Each structure stands twice: as structure tokens, then as C-alpha cells.
Structure 1
Amino acid sequence: MNKLSLTRRAFVTSASAFGLVGASGLALPYYSRANQRPAFTHGVQSGDVDATSGMVWTRTDRPARVMYEVSTTESFADAVRLAPLDTSPASDYTVKRLLTDLAADQDIFYRMTAADLSDINAVSEPIVGRFRTAPASKRDVRFAWSGDTAGQGWGIDETGMKIYSTIAKHTPDFFLHSGDTIYADGAMKDEVDLPGGGKWKNVVMIDGKRKVAETLDEYRDQWKYNMMDKHVLALSAICPTFYQWDDHEVVNNWSDSKDLTTDNRYTEKSIPVLAARAARAFHE
């Protein structure tokens, strides 16, 4: 059967679960203007996918109620609605949800819509993602791996990180990002001089990339920068990513193998604090 193997009890299927039904039980009127609606700022992501579950992620531009639909068809003909989750400044308006009790080796489509918590009638355009659960029996598995995103000053030029679109064309079961997911310890310039002349121009920039990350918001900006690339967003929308932690998430070779005493940002007391902030941004 092409159905989600989930019990009805696991889901909230009434419109009240979406926060769009008034006390009378009648649907509230929809009349918000487009520029008053909340928006999803950095696409969608999925990860931690196994044979029966998978994590999905998104971020809104304000405190919002994120409403979920899950389906095994791209048309969402058999969609199941889940109870909503709220975003808040505490997690920088990000939200994650573990989808459970899924069928193995099955395409899972998820759709999210956001309602402004200060005006529940202001509803965003929907955003959609997909992943495939792991097989329960033997079959070939296709995956891609890489690492070291936007390091050594190489950011997003006019072409963007096209390698991510190339990976997406191969429709892998998952993508393994094998460390240095960000370069928090290296400030990025608007231009980089190329050997033999010419310049690499980072046409997309964000304040948090122009300096070494120290504050929580600066670590968050490191992640936001990667997700400002259209190719990164395209891969994330169709393929789960497994992220591994390495050194540049905090500071290059942040172990006893490197002397950091010449940089007053990195001391015996400060590194654990920076690592905690980096870890929080990583998990958000």
C-alpha cells in the first residue's frame, strides 16, 4: 500500500491543529497581504534518516506556527497533518521535527506552512521537501560525500556552489558532509586575488562571515551563509544530509597539536565557551 504506516492517534488531523479555527469552529477569514505574511528564510533540510524515521528542518523570519503535512505522493493526495510547532527567537526561529513510523524504502514528501504568531491569519506560502527512507532489505545505495564548504575565502560567486546541483542530479539516497561544514575561524573578504591575476568576487555576503565567529549570532550567520546559495538549497530539498563535526566549526586544529596562544580570542577559558556556541548553532 502506498500509505504512511502511521496510526491516526499519532497525528492531529483537524483544522484546529493548524491554529486556523476560531472558538466557534468556523474557519477564520484569510485576507492578509503578501508582505505581511511570514516567510521561510533558508529552505528546508532533512537528516538523521533511517528505515522508519527522518528529521526535517526549516527557519522562519519571525515567531510563527509551523504546520506540517506528510505524504508518500508528490501531489500530497494522501497527506497526513501533524500538530504544529512554534518558532521563537530562542532557537533563531529554526524548528526541527522527527517524522516517525514511516515505511522503509519509501519516498516521503513533507510540506510546511507558517502562520504569524501575532496574526494567525497571516499565512506563508508553503515550502516542500523530500527524502527517501532507508531500505529494510538489501539493495544498492547511492550517496555522495564532500566537505569544506566556503573556506579559505571562497564563498558564493555569480555562479554559486554549483557542485551541489551536480550532486542533486545524481539523486543520491543521502549526502554526507564530512566536516568543516562552516569556516567559523576565517573571515571572508568580498574579493580574493587569484594566482596570475584576476579576482574571485564573493557576490553574496553576510556580516557574520566578515569576521571570525565569536558570538552565538555570528556562528549562526556562518550557517545562514551556506544556505543563501541556491544550489545548496536545491540539494537539501530532495536529499537528506548527514553532517559531521570537524575543527573549522570552531577553530583550525583546536587541539594540543596547534599553538593558539598568539591569538587572544582562543584561550584555555574561551575555547570551551566558543565550542558551546558553535555546537548550539550546529544543532539548531
Structure 2
Amino acid sequence: MTGPSFPPRRRFLRQLGAGTGVVIGTSPLLHALADNTAPAVITADRLRPQLPCGVMSGDVTLDKAIVWSKADRPSKMWVEYANNPEWKNPQHMQAVLALPSNDYTARVDLGGLPTGQRTYYRVRFEDLTHPGSFSETLSGSLMVPGGSRKNIRFAFSGDEAGQGFGINEAFGGYRVYESMRRFQPDFFIHSGDQIYADGPIPAEIRLSNGDIWKNIVTPAKSKVAETLDDYRGNFAYNFLDANKRRFAAEVPFLVQWDDHEVRNNWYPDQQIGAAEKRYQQRDLNTLAKHSRRAMFEYNPFRIDASDPDRIYRQFSYGPLLEVFMLDERSYRGKNSPNLQTDINQDSAFLGKAQLQWIKQGLLKSRSTWKVIASDMPISLVVPDLNPDVPKGTFEAWANGDHGKPLGRELEIADLLGFIKKHNIKNVVWVTADVHYAAATYYMPEKAQFTDFKPFWEFIGGPINAGTFGPNEVDKTFGPDVRYVSVPADSKQNRPPTDLLQFFGIAEIDAHTKAMKVSLHDIDGKELYKVDIHPEA
């Protein structure tokens, strides 16, 4: 199966910029946008603000979405939007500042968007030191999912720029983004490891077959990230890929983080041990603070003013779907043998407040489907192999003992038991982290812990990184693995040239309410598909 056809990018942009409309305001930019001509004061291109990362949208919900972009100097970002490609009756947002304090990134929160329709937007930056000097106009669009007669389709994956495999233009760059784009998803769940802050990208990698993988390189990606500017440079690097910029201009992102946004297998209050020689800054709380700030700056997050560091959040798309994005880094206890007998700070993975939040969110949801985005899989055993931790230490939920829930498994047992007790229906999990794709059905009759309703978990990734797996499967929650995208004897850290990069597509039928989930390879070929019918 291949994705549906989609207008070529050049024609798509011509359509977005083709119409005329009346714009209220006196800015030269707004008049220029209205008649689709460049302001007369524009001079040489190098004197205009540049937009190195394109445009992006995200955190889309029933009638709102964030539009994001970045300039290269102090500027004002102006945004105009319309609900039609002819640009009839456009609206505009008050300009927002792009300043050195936020690395010249800027965002606006568009409201009152029509549900179940595509919104078109255009972005320009005005130089603060040279008023009237404007950047080029960049165009994008976004779908607001929902509506009683509209299917909802979304993509999911994770893990990009890992194991030194960066942007190789001769290979086609981050090809998964272009393959996902052809499916025209309403939004994309990025399940973490958006950057590999601990993974420098060299100019070349010699592959086992003798071929040379050639990367685009930047100063920020030439070393492990330690400063705020290092982390900013890691996030900026991925926008050098044309496939990601094209995808981001058409598909809203819902983003969470995992370990490589900071450092492999990190947890709060950790200190990097002496065995790791690459770091001068050894305090993980400091590194995590830098990374969180850079991640918020370089993604279309809707910041919660009451809790500005919060990453976990939920998105409602009406009667068909609600999405819950988890944060499995900020509140966890330290990695350990994972055998605690009580839920406490040592065994925490979500933490008390987040666990209560998702319970109440699921309980209150009136949507047919509840999708939980977990950056780490439920039953795959992920050992912490860092040189500064003891052997027998685990990184994810599972502890590999195949018995009754212990350690972090206690939290998920508590959540699954809550779902059953309150008869919360149609919960599906999507995740990434392990660098291969899989589909697993959890069955109480096969489990050591049986107090739960059967459910599905789907794993996507990597987007552009080394391929690993398959991992050992812990049997505590009765996983019946229906599909694995790599063979049992697979070579580890296989390059993207082996074409083992993966993503998932889920689509909910507005009439039957059934969810179809499929897993795909780097070029969009369907590898596995299942139709899940909703529980009555």
C-alpha cells in the first residue's frame, strides 16, 4: 500500500499565495500580503531577515493551533491565515517578537479555526532595526481534526538523527517525513528522541559494506550538547532537512521528549560519572533545563502559564478521539533493578501527579478512542548500559522478570486496573524508542497481572537513526506480539541505507468508529495492518 497522492510542493505553495484579500492594519507587510506583492523597501536578500527553519504548526485541538517559525535576527513575526486556498477574507494576528532571548523563535496561537477543515497561513518577519525590511513569505497549512462526518488520520514515529546518522542529501534526507506526508495525516505524534544531544554527527561514517554515509554537519552537532546554545543547535539541525520542513509546513506536530533530548537514559538528579569523558557539565538537571528550554523554543508547544515546564498534556478532537501525551522523564526515580514493591518516588515513572492526571482525563473523556502516547514501550526490556551505572539496571517500564508487577510496572498496573474498574473503553497506546516497529495485543489470560481490559500497543521509529532490536519481551502484562519489523537475529545499529526505518498510520472511520492501524517502512510500504473495532 502506498500513501494517497498529494499536490506537488511547488504547485501547493502557488495555490497558498495565489489569492487576494482585505487585511486590516497599516503595516507594509500586511498590505504586501493582501496584494501578494513584495514591500518596496526590500533590498538585497542578505539584508532581509532569513527564515532558516521554515514554518511549523502544532498542539492543534478542536479550534486552535500554534504556528511557529524562526528568524535570524531581532524581528517581528506577522501571521495571516484563511480557511480557503483562495485567501478570501483572511485574518491576521498581532505581531510577536523574535528576540535573542528565545533564539529568534516566535509563535502565535490561532483561535476560532473551523473544525474538520484546512486552515492556510502565511508568515513573514520584519527587521526590528530596519522597519519595513521584510523576509520572504513562507506558507503552510494545517488540518483541524474533528467533525461528525470527517475521518481522523494521524501518523506516529520517533527517533531522528541518532547514532551519527544525520542528514544525508545523497540518500534523500529524512525520507520517512516525505513518506508520512503522502498520507496527508491530520497531525503527527512525535514520540521523542527528536534530537540526539549526546550523539555528535560526523561528516562521514564508513558502513560495514564499505560505503560512505555523508552527513550535513554543523558546529552544534560536532560534540555532545552541554550549553543552551548547543541544545538549540541540535534542534535547529533537523530543520536543515527539506523533507522535515515540507512535512512541518503541512502537518501539525504533537511532541514529547525521551532520553536523547538530554543524554542517554537520563533521570532527574543524576550526575554523569567519571567513566563518561565527553562532558564538562556533569549535572543532568542543568542539562535537562537547557534541553527543555530549547525544545519549547524549537517546537510549536502551547505553554501552560500555570506550569510552564509541563510537557504532558491532552488534545481533544471531538467524539472520535482524544490524545494523551505522557512525560516519562521529568518525574521518574533513578534507573535501578526496578524491583520495588510499592509505588513511591524510587519506583516512579510518571509520578503521582501525572498518574492522577491521566486517570482523570481518561475517566472524563467522551471520545470513542483514547490514544496514549508513551515515549517508552510497555513490555520491552530496555537495560541501562551507560558505563556509569551498575549492570542489571533498567531504563523503561519492564524489569524482565516476567512475574507480578514490581518497580515501575506498579504504576502501569495501577493505571490498567483503573481503566478496567471504570470500564474505560477503547484505549490504544503508541510509542517509539527502540528503533524498530511492532504491534502487540495485551491479553489478561496470558498475563501474571490480570486485572485489565485487553488493549493494543503500536511502536514506530526510527525516523532517521540506527535500527536495533528486537528486544526481550517481559510477560507480566500478557503481551501477544503480532508483528515485529526486524528479524530475531537482526544485526544491531543497522544504517538507514538498510531501509529499516518505520512509522505508523492510524485512521478512525467517522461512520463505523473503527480504527485502522498500519505500520510502514521508510518509503511508505505497508508492513502490517489491523482493524480495531470499538467496544460497545
TM-score norm. by structure 2 comes to 0.47
CA-to-partner distance for each residue in 1:233-272, whole Å, 9 max, x for gaps? 010000001111100000111139x994222667997110
Q: How far off is 1:35 after superposition? A: 2.8
Corresponding residue number in structure 1 for 2:193: 180
Q: Which amino acid aligns with 1:96?
A: R
Q: Which has more radius of gyration?
A: 2
1:255 maps to 2:267:
yes
Structure-1 separation of matches of 2:272 and 2:101: 31
What aligned pairs does 1:65-214 form with structure 2 within 5 A after superposition? Answer: 65-137=76-148, 139-157=150-168, 158=170, 159-202=172-215, 204-214=216-226
CA-to-partner distance for each residue in 1:109-164, whole Å, 9 max, x for gaps? 11111111111121111111110112143642111111110100111112211211
Among candidates 244, 249, 266, match of residue 237 of structure 1: 249
1:273 maps to 2:286:
yes
Q: Is the 8 A contact 2:272 2:282 kept in 1?
A: no
Corresponding residue number in structure 2 for 1:216: 228
Helix, strand or coil at the partner of 1:65: strand
Structure-1 separation of matches of 2:72 and 2:129: 13
Structure-2 separation of matches of 1:32 and 1:192: 42
Structure-1 separation of matches of 2:41 and 2:47: 12
Gaps of 5+ in 1: 1-11, 21-27
Gaps of 5+ in 2: 1-22, 32-38, 298-536
Corresponding residue number in structure 2 for 1:33: 44
Structure-2 separation of matches of 1:86 and 1:218: 23
Helix, strand or coil at the partner of 1:224: helix
Which of 1 and 2 has higher RCO (CA within 8 Å, sep 6+)?
1
CA-to-partner distance for each residue in 1:71-124, whole Å, 9 max, x for gaps? 011232221122111111000000011111222112111111111111112111
Helix, strand or coil at the partner of 2:86: coil
Q: Which amino acid aligns with 2:223?
A: K
Q: Check 1:221–1:127 CA distance in 2 against 1; reply closer, same or farther (3 A cut).
A: same
Segment drifting more, 78-87 vs 218-227: 78-87
Q: Which amino acid aligns with 1:220?
A: R
Segment drifting more, 209-218 vs 67-76: 67-76
Identity %: 36
The number of equivalent residue pairs is 264
Q: CA RMSD in A?
A: 2.3
Among candidates 9, 20, 25, match of residue 14 of structure 1: 25
Structure-2 separation of matches of 1:97 and 1:183: 28
Q: Check 1:259–1:36 CA distance in 2 against 1; reply closer, same or farther (3 A cut).
A: closer
Q: Is the 8 A contact 1:208 1:221 kept in 2?
A: yes
Q: Is the 8 A contact 1:18 1:84 kept in 2?
A: no
Helix, strand or coil at the partner of 2:76: strand
TM-score norm. by structure 1 comes to 0.86
Q: Is the 8 A contact 2:77 2:95 kept in 1?
A: yes
Q: Check 1:19–1:232 CA distance in 2 against 1; reply closer, same or farther (3 A cut).
A: closer
